[in-house]
Amino acid sequence: MTGTMTLPRRLPEQKRSEDTVLRIMNAAEALLSRIPLEFVTTSRIAKEARMSVGALYRFYPDKQAIFDAVAVRHMARFREWLAIRVMRPLERDMAADIPKIDPPKFLEDVLDIYIKYLDHYPDFRALALGKLISAGTREREASPILGLPAMLKSYIVDRLRVPNTPELNLVLSVMSEAGERLIAYAYEQPTREGRDLVIEEMKRMLVGYLFVR
């Protein structure tokens, strides 16, 4: 994984170029879902997209730039999942003045949705858990937990009236890093049951760290 932020060589300006970029990303997603990461090359991506390697290089300088583009697209898609499945129900409850908004449940719901997303999109799971998203893109677009620190911070500061302090930022950063590593560890387990046990332990740990202090 590169430490710098990777960007496309050029941005599509016409419909034809947009279609080409879409074909490249769709081809990369398909390959990441089917074959080991080490076998996903620019040549294979071009072949999957039914274009020449030269046509691919017009838009992306290397496969890292393609991986990052795929990850950014997933990040936007996952934010939509969160908005629909977590944030909107929460906002409805708050608008209805439901007295018991449970902060630990909110965190657990976000983590559950992330696990469902990883299960649903094996190509993104390969990128996120394989640490193949560049450090620059992770910093720009948020970690593979995809905006969880920022979302939690907004919720904690705006809804729970917790002061916005450097300590809160540190706590959320540590929580995010721990969560990423434990989710990767969970998916290394040989069985689905073992994976789910690790995830439940992770949720208990993160809830305790964030809310029981």
Q: What is the 3-state secondary structure (H, E, C) of 27-92?
A: HHHHHHHHCCHHHCCHHHHHHHCCCCHHHHHCCCCCHHHHHHHHHHHHHHHHHHHHHHHHHHHHHH
**The predicted structure's pLDDT at residue 130:** 84
Mean pLDDT of the chain: 84
* Alpha carbon distances (Å) from 192 to 78, 107, 167: 22, 22, 36
- pLDDT mean over 184-191: 96
Quick check: 182 pLDDT over 70? yes
Residue 85 included in any domain: yes
Q: What percent of the chain has pLDDT over 90?
A: 46
> What's the structural domain count of the chain?
1
- 144 lies in which domain range? 70-211
Q: Let me know if residue 63 belongs to a domain.
A: no
140 contacts 7 by C-beta, under 8 angstroms: no
Dihedral of the CA atoms 150, 156, 162, 164 (nearest 10)?
A: 10
Query: When comparing pLDDT for 167 and 50, which is higher?
Result: 50
CA distances from 166 to 163, 171, 176, 178, 192 (A): 10, 9, 15, 18, 38
For residue 179, being part of any structural domain is answered with yes
The answer to the question of residue 188 being in a domain is yes
Band the pLDDT of 11: cuts 50, 70, 90: low
pTM of the model: 0.82
Q: Is residue 44 part of a domain?
A: no
Which carries the bigger pLDDT value, residue 9 or residue 184? 184
CATH code of the domain containing 94: 1.10.357
Whether residue 87 is contained in a domain is answered as yes
- Among 59-68, 73-82, 90-99, 189-198, the range with the most confident prediction by mean pLDDT is 189-198
pLDDT in tens, 87-102: 788 777 766 665 566 7
In a domain, 132, yes or no: yes
Residue 131 maps to a domain:
yes
